[in-house]
Amino acid sequence: MLLPWQEIDPETLDNLIESFVLREGTDYGEQERSLSAKVADVKRQLQSGEAVLVWSELHETVNIMPRGQFRG
C-alpha cells in the first residue's frame, strides 16, 4: 500500500529516510556522500514522484522504492 509522504510528520519522514539510507549500504563510487546529502536526495525523489513510500502489511514495515518497482 502506498503511503502519501506529504501526510507523514516531517521528523518521522526524515527518520524513515535516514533509516532507509543507512540500511541500503549503497556504494557511491570514489566520492563518498554525507548522510544528510543522501537523505536530501531521497527526499527529492519522493517529492518528484520518482520514489514512493510503501507499507507492507505482511511485514508491518515501511520501505522506499522506485515508483517503477512498486506493484500495488
Domain count, the chain: 1
- Identify the pLDDT of residue 33: 80
d(CA 43, CA 61): 18
Residue with cell 554525507: 34
- Identify the pLDDT of residue 25: 64
Q: What is the CATH number of the domain that holds 56?
A: 1.10.10.610
Cβ contact 51:69 at 8 Å:
no
> Does the predicted model carry a pTM greater than 0.75?
yes
Q: Which domain holds residue 38?
A: 2-69
- Identify the pLDDT of residue 42: 95
pLDDT per residue rounded down to tens, the chain (72 residues): 999 999 999 999 999 999 999 887 655 566 678 889 999 999 999 999 999 999 989 989 999 999 999 876
Half-sphere exposure of 16 (CA within 13 A, CB side): 20
d(CA 68, CA 49): 10
Cβ contact 1:72 at 8 Å:
yes
- Identify the pLDDT of residue 34: 87
